[in-house]
Structure 1
Amino acid sequence: MENELKVALVQANLIWEDPIQNRTNFSEKINGISDSVDLIVLPEMFTSGFTMNATSVAETMDGETISWLKKISKQKQTAIIGSLVISENKNYFNRLVCVEPSGKITSYDKRHTFTLAGEHKIYTAGTEKVIFNYKGWEICPLVCYDLRFPVWARNIENYDLLIYVANWPKVRVSAWDSLLKARAIENMTYCIGVNRVGLDGNNYEYTGHSASFNVLGNRMDSIQESKETIEIITLKKEHISKYREKLGFLKDRDAFNLEA
């Protein structure tokens, strides 16, 4: 039903720089998800954790992980979103991909590389905001650090759903909580954030705090912190149209001219 979208948020631990084991772990998790789900959301760099050692984990768009995503998506008849390290034209990208059951792939390269960790020295920043249609829903996918930059996410396209995939550490997780809610409110959109849990190879701790908010900024899930978990939420088009028409806040938004 195009008026509803069932989304599975997969909050998981990631095995450091081990794409094979991560694919195996996610296969088990995804196989346990209801077949009625329309979209599955995985964390940022779900095959490796947030690594600057791109050469050890990079793949191509014809590589093992993309093939695996296509296979799982077709089997489950659901779209899957997550980011991974992609090598292309002698550059590395932190690339979010959405793979649909038809085999269609939508990709978005992380615009704001995380300079605090030196991501800008390893990965090439994306230059294009991406909005794609899936089952009648206009979706804007973004990655982790993008969350701190509201102008990039500004809902000038009247999209229905904003998705962030992340490796956002415990030490700054209060910002993650606040900004996810703010992005939903200011853009009058559903906003979903999926973060990882556990320790990475640099000994940074992640406590998840994956969450979903409706257009009023109300929390829609009951995901617990620091635990691997999968929660399914149902989004409804009528909720968006009701409050956009009633409140009209997007009609008063500013126009921005973005330059890459």
Structure 2
Amino acid sequence: MQVSIVQYDISWEDKSTSQAYMNAMLDASPPHEHGFVLVPELCDVGFSMNLETIVDDRTGEWARQRAIRDRVWIQYGFADRDEHGRGLNCTAIADPSGRVHDRYTKVHPFSHGLESKHYAGGDRLVLVEVGDLLVCPMICYDLRFPELWRLARRAGAQAFAIGASWPAVRHEHWRSLLIARAIENQAFVIGCNRCGSDPHLDYAGGSLIIDPTGTVLAEADDTPTLLQADIDPSAADGWRNEFRCHDDVHEALLGTIEVVRSNPA
């Protein structure tokens, strides 16, 4: 299976320009049919708290149409609201027919960056069968909470796909933690970080595709990049069967969370 990451400089709160940029990158190097495409957190507006401006259906419609056009799976980031009007930082996967699977809401809003004042946290994990690969979507700050990833691994996740707006000042944390999550969960980790800048922060890109042993298969620099690598979905289970470290996990230490095995919406 081919994995593609669209790393680019998001146009601040400008969906039309951002979507056109992503389209141009994908048109220039079309992904393989039935491959997996990952774009950043809040993929066409940037890390904005301006819910009045950014919450609408255009992001999902773009992802659905792009998935149909290229016959691929696309994980995209977008904002929504809950029943109380609070923001939700979400990601969802559209399949090659354009159907959208259950969305994941970021469990850990970034309180240091005041995200938690505008966005409510989610309370469940989502697993999506992407061809022969069981993928768990994650979002940015979730990377710092390994217990969440371990719960997904316990539920069967073979790969984690995380879209982010990870600041340049902590770039080394991004890289180190992605590799650690791959090693400790014996899973593929696909991490898409934006590059460029917004009115508040600079971003260093550094998107990565990592195999279940922690080996980096592909890595981007700090410029707009369509990063691609071919992966073998069976490699996660193969490595887990060969090196059975998870047999020694103390399950009582993990806690619980609802895990949804996704169906198309």
Q: TM-score, normalised by structure 2?
A: 0.90
1:46 has 2:43 as partner: yes
Code of the aligned partner of 1:250? H
Code of the aligned partner of 2:121? A
Matched residues in 2 for 1:214 and 1:101: separation? 24
1:247 has 2:220 as partner: no
Matched residues in 1 for 2:47 and 2:21: separation? 17
- TM-aligned CA deviation for residue 104 of structure 1: 2.0
- 8 Å Cα contact 1:188-1:250 kept in structure 2: no
* SS at structure 1 position matched to 2:62: helix
Q: Which residue, out of 53, 56, 72, partners 2:53?
A: 56
- TM-aligned CA deviation for residue 252 of structure 1: 1.6
1:122 has 2:118 as partner: yes
- TM-aligned CA deviation for residue 237 of structure 1: 2.8
Code of the aligned partner of 1:253? V
1:211 has 2:208 as partner: yes
- 8 Å Cα contact 2:26-2:226 kept in structure 1: no
- TM-aligned CA deviation for residue 32 of structure 1: 2.3
Code of the aligned partner of 2:155? E
Residue 216 to residue 259, structure 1, CA distance change in 2 (3 Å): closer
What are the Cα deviations for residues 160-215 of structure 1, in whole angstroms up to 9, with x where unaligned? 1111110000111111111000000000001111000001121x110111111111
1:21 has 2:12 as partner: no
Matched residues in 2 for 1:42 and 1:104: separation? 17
- TM-aligned CA deviation for residue 88 of structure 1: 4.2
1:194 has 2:192 as partner: yes
Code of the aligned partner of 1:96? T
Residue 67 to residue 216, structure 1, CA distance change in 2 (3 Å): same
Please report the RMSD computed on the Cα atoms of aligned residues, expressed in angstroms.
1.5
Code of the aligned partner of 1:185? I
Matched residues in 2 for 1:237 and 1:45: separation? 27
Structure 2 partner of 1:112 = 108
Structure 2 spans left out of the alignment, 5+ residues: 259-265
Matches within 5 A, 1:60-209: 63-89=57-83, 90-106=85-101, 107-154=103-150, 155-202=153-200, 204-209=201-206
* SS at structure 2 position matched to 1:163: strand
Matched residues in 2 for 1:75 and 1:121: separation? 38
Count of aligned residue pairs for this structure pair: 251
Code of the aligned partner of 2:204? T
- 8 Å Cα contact 2:81-2:88 kept in structure 1: yes
Code of the aligned partner of 1:196? R
- 8 Å Cα contact 2:13-2:44 kept in structure 1: yes
Q: Percent of aligned pairs with the same residue?
A: 26
Structure 1 spans left out of the alignment, 5+ residues: none
Worse-matched range after superposition: 246-255 or 180-189: 246-255
Code of the aligned partner of 1:160? Q
